[in-house]
Amino acid sequence: MARRAFLFGYYGFGNLGDELLCRHYAEVLREALPAWERIVVTADPHHEGGDGKESRINRWNMGQWYRSTRPGDIWVVGGGTLLQNATSHRSLAFYLMVLALAHRRGASILLFGQGLEPLHGRLSKIAVKKILNIASILEVRDEDSYTMANNFRRASTHLGTDPLWGLDFPCRPIHGDGVLLILKAADIAYVPDILDMVKEFRPILRVAAFQASDVEPLQQITGHRVEKIANSTDLLSMIEGIDFVISSRMHGVLLSALLRFPVIGWSSDPKVKACCDSLGFQCISPEVREERLGLVNFLMGKTRVHQESLLEERVQTLRGRARASREWTIQTLRRHE
């Protein structure tokens, strides 16, 4: 009977970054463990996730995936920032429960490309520490996550990078005088401010969302048509006539940089800031009024020339790290055969 590799993450919710992560890790599993049965645990089992060559199982059907897990199987958590409670305590509890139950069934837990963030509450810290210590493998994507992992975990942690840096995106020449905003519904309180600043300096403004549920609330607050970016083709069409991007999503920053577009972060989220820092770009906390001057300077071109000159070098460095991380992941998975 073939052993099973379950691929688990924030999959099936229509979020571009997470669906790209799902596809990446599905391809890695196929290359590393071709004889294994591969199963994507997803919120939408009818949607084709991964690379289309694996079966899918509903993440909400606990009985199904619990009974399907056997001793000797592996559960691969592929990318994302799942073990955090800044977004939701319920979400953290769900991920902890799933991984604890899979481990109870005799499966090995392998965490790849993870982002870790400061946790709120003593019980949450204890629970996450327990999961990180039962995991056979932990790979994190940035220095802050690496520091946190070493404080929580007895075994060694591998420092990699976000695997999406390894995507092959066609570069486009920058031409135009417009701005693309990549936002999420949680940004609504600060959207009017950013719109006012952008409109003062740029004639073209486009608004995009990575997740379908963000489209309607963003349209209501911006008064603009909000496009759902579902794939790289959508993103390429959105940047026509654009000369830089403002993003409150980490993968909005990453994908824009892969296209060699100047980008500025508009978020107080640690993972967005870490991504911007790796590129040498600014990340502005919208709730800090003094930091908004940085966006004005960026819009006026005062701080962009130096940043753009470093972009190619830094992207190539991150792409090299992503290739090395992919090879390390494949070799690590093969040791479980």
pLDDT at 160: 96
- Choose the weakest-confidence range: 2-16, 42-56, 243-257, 260-274: 42-56
Q: Does the structural domain 176-318 have CATH classification 3.40.50.2000? A: yes
CA–CA dist 245, 223 (Å, integer): 19
Q: Start-end ranges of CATH 3.40.50.2000 in the chain? A: 176-318
pLDDT confidence bin for 177, thresholds 50/70/90: confident
Whether residue 49 has pLDDT greater than 70: no
Span 70-117, pLDDT tens digits: 999 999 999 999 999 888 889 999 999 999 999 999 999 999 999 998
pLDDT at 302 over 60: no
What was the pLDDT predicted at 275?
93
pLDDT at 24: 96
pLDDT at 59: 96
Taking 80 as the threshold, does the pLDDT of residue 289 lie above it? no
- Interaxial angle between packed helices 16-32 and 304-334, expressed in degrees from 0 to 180 and rounded to the nearest 10: 40
**Mean pLDDT calculated for residue range 313-333:** 96
What's the token pair of residue 307? 């940043």
pLDDT value for 308: 65
| pLDDT tens-digit series, residues 130-144 | 999 999 999 999 999
Contact 247, 266 (CB under 8 A): yes
User: Is pLDDT at 301 greater than 70 in this prediction?
Assistant: no
Q: Which residues pair with 159 in a beta bridge?
A: 140
**pLDDT at position 57, please?**
95
Q: 13: pLDDT confidence band, cut at 50, 70 and 90? A: very high
Sign of CA dihedral 303, 304, 305, 311: positive
- 304-321 pLDDT, tens digit each: 555 666 888 899 999 999
Q: How many CB atoms lie within 10 A of CB 224?
A: 14
pLDDT tens for each residue of 206-263? 999 999 999 999 999 888 899 999 888 888 888 888 888 999 999 999 999 998 888 8
Closest C-alpha among 84, 3, 14 to residue 42: 14
pLDDT of 40 above 60? yes
When pLDDT is cut at 50, 70 and 90, the band that residue 30 belongs to is very high
Task: Specify the CATH number for 4-160; select among 3.30.450, 3.40.50, 1.20.1070, 3.20.20.
Answer: 3.40.50
How confident is the model at residue 4, as a pLDDT?
A: 96
